[in-house]
Structure 1
Amino acid sequence: METDKPFMVVAIDFGTTYSSWACSTTHEHAESPTKMYVRQWIGGEHLSPKAPTTVLIRPDGTTLEAFGYAAEDRYAELVEEGQHKLWYYFKRFKMNIFDNCELSRHTMLEDITGKILPAMTVFSRAIEFMRNDFMTNYKSKLEGRIEDHNICWVLTVPAIWNEPAKQFMRQAAVTAGIRDECLRIALEPEAASLLCNYLPLKMFTISGSQSKFQTFQKGSKYILLDAGGGTVDITVHEVVGGGKLKELHKATGGAWGGIAVDGAFKQFIIKLVGEPIFHKFSKENTMDLLDLLRGFEVKKREMQLMKESITTFRIPVSLIKLYEKETGKVLKESIGKSEYSEKLKLLNDRLKVDSAITRGFFTKSIQNITTFVNTLLKSKQLEGVNSIIMVGGFSECQMLQESIVSCSPKLSTIVPQDAGLVVLKGAVIYGHNQDAIVERVCRYTYGIAGAMPFIPGVHKEEYRVETDVGPLCNKIFIKVVEVDESIKLHERRWGKYFKLNMENQDTYSFPIYVSSEGSPTYITDDGCRMLGCVTIADLDRSVPLKDRKVEMSIIFGGTEMEVEATEFHTGKKSTVVVDFLQ
């Protein structure tokens, strides 16, 4: 960044289902870290602090027409007018880069009709909208007192994302017009944890073993469960004091978020009316489909695990009429003759659903989460943990809260108010205090390829090479850091010297490898893969080749990996490019 103390921090929480931005000035943060402005969006007749992560792009394939609720409504209008076929409409597209081993700058995305655009275009247009929206809605209030270099932009990503996915998001933000040196990547559960440490106790709902509630005192340890729309991130933190935290267990989780519940509800409706009818309804009555799904989004937060109850959903009249037109049957009578006859009732457009059915919408997602939490609780790193803090939009669901309490009765289960905004607000705090996470745990073993003296009977013959100094074994995995190893913020590892090979050489490149195992032998072992490539450029050529050496250090402990190169004979730090994208 061009200044250590930016005038303002603007955070963008780019979610799978919902996104938004928030900001605060340095003065506001100093006055109270939780004092900030959160964007409000208009969705139907309601104000919402988040908007759907929905992008509508014009037929030219590059120009953004609308984002969020406006994109949903505009696309519905285009469908009703029969003018939508050439437009590009993307919903919930963030998961396309989750755990994608083939992610590249050229990765393509399909919209809901199968038309494709570069993923970089879709992501950058969404971020560009957020950037411009801030400029329009907030910057004008500052009366020209702020320039681009005075803003620290923070972009959130799940903690379980790999380096290529983080680099993809960074490049999308830069393409959107955010200065690279003014951009920081924040890990979602870490941002949430920072905010929670500033919230007063009255802003939490606490269940379970409440007598042990000492979560934010120095030395206390807790699980942070960030349940969003797409992914569920789980990490473990210890409070070290002074507003700082350290990670005790590597970030883990999976694709178990709220959209799995939405998908189960959708399949339930399809089973009632039949897939061809639902497909036709979706194409011809997009606005009614939106109302159906938006209504479920509200209802799913209220459903309870233990309570026997009836939940009422509004079924679009257009869907009921379409069913009757296509089948010649009355939907109410068909339900009465189905396997659901004792658990469903349709009264006009109100579908009354027994809790035995609604609980089923959550089964797969909640089972994945609770099973993982139970396994995690057996880990040695969790000794002394007394609380689980639940954040993220899906954590507002009472059924998920009750399930977490049931699977961990010895712990306090803590849910902050407005759990869906905790990551966004925490990202603003992170922008003001980027050194707040003082220690992290490696998710992988990192290393480079190398060679060592060949040992017959130990090394693979296929990797043997003859050299002037004797036989060597190639493709050895030279470990730099190990999975589950604790690394301090900005900790340098490796510090190896490389000699250059050619007189006119002014660049040097080498690949970085990762493994899920602790001590791989070869870069070709199962679980090993090339993560990316490091290139050092603009090397000095003014001295003889024999005197030209470069010291390499890999800097871990931050949200993104960094590499530093120093030329031995001049002390000059050379330009380094770490490229994780193909």
Structure 2
Amino acid sequence: MELVVCIDIGSTHTGYAYSSKKEYDERMLNIHHNEEWMSGHANLHTFKTPSIALLQQDKTLHSFGYEAERKYTQLQDVKQQDMWYYFKRFKADLKTKQFRKDTVILEEGGKSINGVSLFTIILKYLKIHCFAGLEDSARYGTSEVLAKYNIRYVITVPTKWDNASRDCIKSAAKKAGLNPHYIHTESEAAGRYCRLVPIRPTTENSFYIQKPQTQHMIVNLGGSGIDAAVQEILEDGAVKEFPKNVGNASGGTRVDADFLKFVSTLFGNEFIDLYSKKNRIDFLELQYEFEVKKRKFSLESDQGTSLELPSSLVKMYTTKYKQSLQYMIDDTDFVGKILSQDEYLILNKTVMKDIFGPAVKSIVGYLTNLSRDPETKKCDVIILVGGFSESPVVTGATRFYFPKSNIITMEDASLTVLRGGVLLGHNPEPILTVTPTFSYGIGMAVPFNGNQHPNEKLFLAKEKQYCSAVFAPLIKAGRTVSVTDFSRSIKLSLNRQLQKVVAVPVYASKDLRAKYASEESCYLLGKLKVPVGDQDKVVVRFLILGDFLIVEGLTETFRTITQESFSLVPVDKQS
């Protein structure tokens, strides 16, 4: 029994993901994450937690992530923080420089620790946290059963890191008890996941398939900045990767900083400075509240953003200045843009746009420079991953400023690196194959043969006799296929006059002897609808990509291609 665990310690957020060999063999994208890290805010539960570590005076770990952030805030209240080590976004500096065995990382109060020692502490914690969750969930059985698993660890690192930097992480992993472990770059992991899911710039485009002689760029929009790497697929399927640097850009943390500037401008620097020191936990809650709204805000919405203020803030302000919040707002440049209702501020789109503005402008500038780069122009697509690329504001901006581009934003972009790391842990080889347990094909009409076909399937079209719903497999169960190779093709002729669309029914069957799509062993996955001209013919072929089936229809007359993706048959139907 085998299990792969991938750990991604990011500049702003950290997480892990895992899957068993059995799950990978059944559905390779069946990957699990931590059930959700709890921030303490009612609406902020995330699959990754802030990259924050709190160490005690003896440099042992007290807490990590949200818990560390809250504990340190409490220590500040009682003025005991100087006896602790508080590392917030400790990896940010290492994104722009290499990691060495003598690298020192500074904490918020100016104290330091050896970088390898800090990563050792954090990796050990994440390992313990992961297995505590697995034991509680009993996903793979009892703790005794779990102990029998052979576990491989994958750790992702920045693409820019050299071999010496990677050796530092290897040293930390070994000391933390993560053995055996494998190091992959963040862009390498992201590229592997993108290779196994159907992606395309728009529904009018064909899916991008990573096959030999194709080239793409992975752009990681993280919290503290942007990383980019060009990946070229070689003839043997191997990936040749090299970092791309066209300047710096802001990430999601710039939006957080500009929100705090907005709050200080609205309430006054003196008041916010006083409030944040007297009510540290509540001030942290305000930042969590904005984080929730930041993830959902879209420039396409005309609705205002409702921001719940801590009751302590409203009480302190009204008591100190003897006036309502609305009275204060109406005396600022925000008049008409912000409405106060009880303990809520309703921010109109202009205010939120101004908060996001500098970060978005920075990203647009970065992508503009990328699009002008000669090497980028050779890329078939540019793939956006990372947490900040999930923001509706960022996706909206890329659509607006690059309407005809080949930019693709991944779904669940913040988890792309983690999921790709798990996939690499199961199979790092360049050639990917799959052996389906179902046959996949189409339901089609063929000329009727009285010796082979039942009479109830006989129908007439264009004065000819046909047999309906014949199951024609294009991919057969038990036969190994490459994830980048299309199947054999089938040519379909029109059997109706003035037909404008051909709806090709796509089926799966576990019965190798299935003859008709109407049999109980056949499952209808969906239909590919192909626009056609008069007397046209459609050439249909399949491709398995991860847990998806790509179905393509090519018209002979206009040479137009229509593609659709369908999920493969669920595991619960494979029994």
**Structure 1 residues 243 and 102: CA distance shift in structure 2, 3 A:** closer
Match of 1:53 in 2: 51
Give yes or no for the alignment of 1:389 onto 2:383: yes
Question: Is residue 210–residue 412 contact of structure 1 (8 Å, CA) maintained in 2?
Answer: no
Give yes or no for the alignment of 1:216 onto 2:209: yes
TM-score by length of 1: 0.65
Match of 1:272 in 2: 266
State the Cα deviation string for residues 483-502 of structure 1 (Å, max 9, x = none).
xxxxxxxxxxxxxxxxxxxx
- 1:414-429 matched pairs, under 5 angstroms: 414-429=408-423
Output the CA distance in 1 between the equivalents of 2:270 and 2:237: 55
Aligned residues: 424
- The range that moved more, 372-381 or 190-199, is 372-381
Output the CA distance in 2 between the equivalents of 1:328 and 1:229: 39
Match of 1:302 in 2: 296
Output the CA distance in 2 between the equivalents of 1:339 and 1:50: 37
Give yes or no for the alignment of 1:138 onto 2:131: no
Match of 2:189 in 1: 191
Give yes or no for the alignment of 1:173 onto 2:170: no
Unaligned runs of 5+ in 1: 1-5, 439-582
Match of 2:222 in 1: 228
Give yes or no for the alignment of 1:365 onto 2:359: yes
Match of 2:87 in 1: 90
Larger Rg: 2
Match of 1:291 in 2: 285
Question: Is residue 236–residue 431 contact of structure 2 (8 Å, CA) maintained in 1?
Answer: no
Output the CA distance in 2 between the equivalents of 1:103 and 1:284: 40
Q: Find 2:331's aligned residue among 322, 326, 337.
A: 337
**Structure 1 residues 100 and 149: CA distance shift in structure 2, 3 A:** farther
**Structure 1 residues 282 and 213: CA distance shift in structure 2, 3 A:** farther
Q: Which amino acid aligns with 2:48?
A: K
**Structure 1 residues 349 and 303: CA distance shift in structure 2, 3 A:** same
Output the CA distance in 1 between the equivalents of 2:100 and 2:236: 39
Q: Find 1:33's aligned residue among 28, 35, 50.
A: 28
State the SS of the aligned residue for 1:427. Answer: helix
1:250 deviates by 3.9
Output the CA distance in 2 between the equivalents of 1:291 and 1:121: 31
**Structure 1 residues 356 and 81: CA distance shift in structure 2, 3 A:** same
1:429 deviates by 1.0
Q: CA RMSD in A?
A: 3.2
Match of 1:24 in 2: 19
Runs of at least 4 residues of structure 1 off by over 6 A? 146-149
State the SS of the aligned residue for 1:89. Answer: strand
Match of 2:121 in 1: 125
Output the CA distance in 2 between the equivalents of 1:303 and 1:437: 41
State the SS of the aligned residue for 1:213. Answer: coil
State the SS of the aligned residue for 2:204. Answer: helix
1:315 deviates by 1.9
- The range that moved more, 74-83 or 268-277, is 74-83
State the Cα deviation string for residues 449-471 of structure 1 (Å, max 9, x = none).
xxxxxxxxxxxxxxxxxxxxxxx
Question: Is residue 95–residue 158 contact of structure 2 (8 Å, CA) maintained in 1?
Answer: no
1:117 deviates by 4.2
Output the CA distance in 1 between the equivalents of 2:99 and 2:416: 31
- 1:94-105 matched pairs, under 5 angstroms: 94-100=91-97, 105=102
Q: Which amino acid aligns with 2:187?
A: P
Question: Is residue 8–residue 26 contact of structure 1 (8 Å, CA) maintained in 2?
Answer: yes
1:23 deviates by 1.4
Match of 1:484 in 2: none
Q: Which amino acid aligns with 1:302?
A: K
Question: Is residue 97–residue 103 contact of structure 1 (8 Å, CA) maintained in 2?
Answer: no
Output the CA distance in 2 between the equivalents of 1:102 and 1:20: 21
1:129 deviates by 0.8
Output the CA distance in 2 between the equivalents of 1:211 and 1:384: 21
State the Cα deviation string for residues 540-580 of structure 1 (Å, max 9, x = none).
xxxxxxxxxxxxxxxxxxxxxxxxxxxxxxxxxxxxxxxxx
Match of 2:107 in 1: 110
Match of 1:10 in 2: 5
1:115 deviates by 4.6
1:35 deviates by 2.0
Give yes or no for the alignment of 1:63 onto 2:57: no
Unaligned runs of 5+ in 2: 433-575
Question: Is residue 99–residue 161 contact of structure 1 (8 Å, CA) maintained in 2?
Answer: no
Question: Is residue 59–residue 85 contact of structure 2 (8 Å, CA) maintained in 1?
Answer: no
1:12 deviates by 0.4
- 1:496-507 matched pairs, under 5 angstroms: none
Match of 1:555 in 2: none
Output the CA distance in 1 between the equivalents of 2:233 and 2:168: 31
Match of 2:72 in 1: 75
Output the CA distance in 2 between the equivalents of 1:167 and 1:279: 43
1:424 deviates by 0.8
State the Cα deviation string for residues 258-317 of structure 1 (Å, max 9, x = none).
111111111111222233432333333232122212221221222224555422212222
State the Cα deviation string for residues 89-123 of structure 1 (Å, max 9, x = none).
33222213232479662513122x44544444443
Output the CA distance in 1 between the equivalents of 2:164 and 2:225: 17
State the SS of the aligned residue for 2:254. Answer: helix
State the Cα deviation string for residues 196-221 of structure 1 (Å, max 9, x = none).
2212x4xx6x65x5433331253544
State the SS of the aligned residue for 1:304. Answer: coil
Output the CA distance in 2 between the equivalents of 1:416 and 1:398: 12
State the SS of the aligned residue for 2:260. Answer: helix
State the Cα deviation string for residues 68-106 of structure 1 (Å, max 9, x = none).
222233334445566545333332222132324796625
Question: Is residue 51–residue 65 contact of structure 2 (8 Å, CA) maintained in 1?
Answer: yes
Output the CA distance in 1 between the equivalents of 2:291 and 2:20: 33
Output the CA distance in 1 between the equivalents of 2:340 and 2:313: 13
**Structure 1 residues 384 and 118: CA distance shift in structure 2, 3 A:** closer
Question: Is residue 20–residue 50 contact of structure 1 (8 Å, CA) maintained in 2?
Answer: yes
Output the CA distance in 1 between the equivalents of 2:17 and 2:10: 14
Output the CA distance in 2 between the equivalents of 1:135 and 1:100: 32
Match of 2:518 in 1: none
**Structure 1 residues 160 and 282: CA distance shift in structure 2, 3 A:** farther
Identity %: 29
State the SS of the aligned residue for 2:70. Answer: helix
